[in-house]
Amino acid sequence: MNDLLRLARGVIATGIPGTALDDALHARLREAGFGAYVLFGRNVASLAQVRALTDRLRALDDPSPLIAIDQEGGRVARLRDGVEALPSMMALGATGSPELAERAGEQLGSDLRRAGVTLDFAPVVDLALEAASTVIGMRSFGSDPRRVTVMAQAFANGLQRAGVHATFKHAPGHGSTALDSHVGLPAVDADEATLRARDFVPFAACAADARAFMTAHVIVRALDPLHPATLSRRVLTGLFREEWGLRGCCFTDCMQMDAIARGVGSVEGVVAALAAGADCATISHDLDLAFAAADRLVVEVESGRLPLERLREAHDRVMRLREQAQPPLPLDTPPPHPGIGREIGRRAVTVLRGTPHADPTSACAISFEGARADGVATDARDAASLAAQAPALDLLRLPLDPDPEQLAGALARLAASQRRAIVLARRAHLHAGQAAAIAAIVERQPDALVISVQEPFDAELFTEARHVLATYGDEAPSIAGLADVLFGGAPATGALPVAI
């Protein structure tokens, strides 16, 4: 391999197929020399299997390529078995505790080290500003830029104390857009003064000490109305480097997302991103495309359209992270903070009004459920069951958008049971049928307990409900923490982390 191709492949982070490297794939990757590999759900069967896979990936080169993953907590978690389940970052934000955020980061980092991962694409530093956003939502610590800054820094400190590089994302901010950049190109329309006082604040505060940043595929009209931030020199070099003082490695979000792929195209986008100031381009799903992108970088340097010094600079930043990466921990390493997931879930529970307690022997949980899929996480499994935490509790499941017949059946069953309703709302503000169903339940049972178990924007819909709570997630640790409050007498100490 010539030196130019080595540099080009060294600034690519690519995904791979399957849960193991067969001999052919192993030989191909050993020859390739990519700078990083990114793990997804398709690569995960068990913790021991992931460790065997990462052991082989790290042995491909010296220094080892980076092994990266999106492991945030909540719904974005590629590793689920054999590790501590963590609630969403919004749940952490609701606790208001930087100390807890740092412990969570350390626990997560320890689990990733056991898996052989060296870099985490976390924490999310976007602000939760748009109620209709499902791409950010609970992945954000909240809407207050200063609180988000403190929590993100604490989480990253814990992650890095455990020996895993943290990546602050998605700069300069994806939180004020409803459109998901996996399926389109969002635009941020706020004026520059507003952005500097709000969206940019956490990123600007974290940049100088950040080992890694990740870009957002959004157009920030006030800075560059023509190019997504990932492809904008005004943003990546002018803002990140020259204004904010970023010295670490700048990763792109996946260049196969539709915001890039349906625009300039993935391969051309890699070239444009490197020219704008990115250091490592992420090709998550197509190994052949990763090879093609590296080949195109070589062509662009040879033609003079991409300066060789820019490629070398990018390669040096990736190599610095590779050289600083920590070796894996033994699989049987004891966790630093066992049970912290449930602790976060419990401390996040927020009382918006009323009383946060119920008797499971005389209550019925009405849970609005369905497959929830977006470009970030696909999870069609049943939601964690509150009834599993309290077997005496009756349970009634309804679709996210029930029709009138389904609602009538549920109301009849509830009336016949003579049990108090505990309603688990899931984005009722985005599901009209669900909002109407909950209103009908509350009309018949004013003393019903309504719980927003995803983003808390549901809460403002139910003005007639006497008892309203929020959990900021419906994964197992959040539901277990909720049960501690509802049925176990634990205090509900969370505070609303977003403005509603």
Active site amino acids:
182, 253
Q: Are 409 and 345 spatial neighbours (Cβ–Cβ below 8 Å)?
A: no
Task: Kindly state the greatest CA–CA separation across the chain.
Answer: 77
Distance CA 270, CA 293 (A): 7
3-state secondary structure of 250: strand
> Phi and psi at residue 240, in whole multiples of 5°?
-65, -50
For the residues of 170-237, what is the DSSP string, one character each? EET--TT--S-TTTS--EE-S-HHHHHHTTTHHHHHHHTT-SEEEE---EETTT-SSS-GGG-HIIII
Give the contacts of 473 (CB within 8 A, at least 6 positions apart): 74, 75, 87, 88, 90, 91, 138, 345, 348, 453, 454
Q: From CA 389, how far away is CA 363, in angstroms rounded? A: 13
Strands 71-73 and 76-77: antiparallel
Burial 169-193 (b: 16+ CB within 10 A, else e): bbbbbbbbbebbbbeebbebebeee
Opening angle at CA 288, ends 2 and 300, nearest 5: 50
Conformation bin of residue 245: beta by default, left when phi > 0, alpha when psi is -120 to 50: left
Rounded to whole angstroms, how far apart are CA atoms 39 and 299? 29
Give me the half-sphere count of Cα atoms (radius 13 Å) on the Cβ side of residue 482: 34
Pairing of strands 378-379, 372-373: antiparallel
| Burial (CB count <10 Å: 0-12, 13-18, 19+), residue 75 | buried
Residue 152 in tokens? 């993100």
If we measure between CA atoms, which residue out of 202, 12, 219 comes closest to residue 124? 202
* Type of residue at 347: R
Q: Can the peptide bond before residue 145 be classed as cis, meaning omega within 30 degrees of 0?
A: no
**Smallest Cα–Cα separation from 219: which of 250, 195, 245, 248?**
195
Nearest-10 Cα torsion for 40, 185, 279, 8: 80
For residue 158, what are its two tokens?
């814990």
Preceding peptide of 98 cis, ω within 30°: no
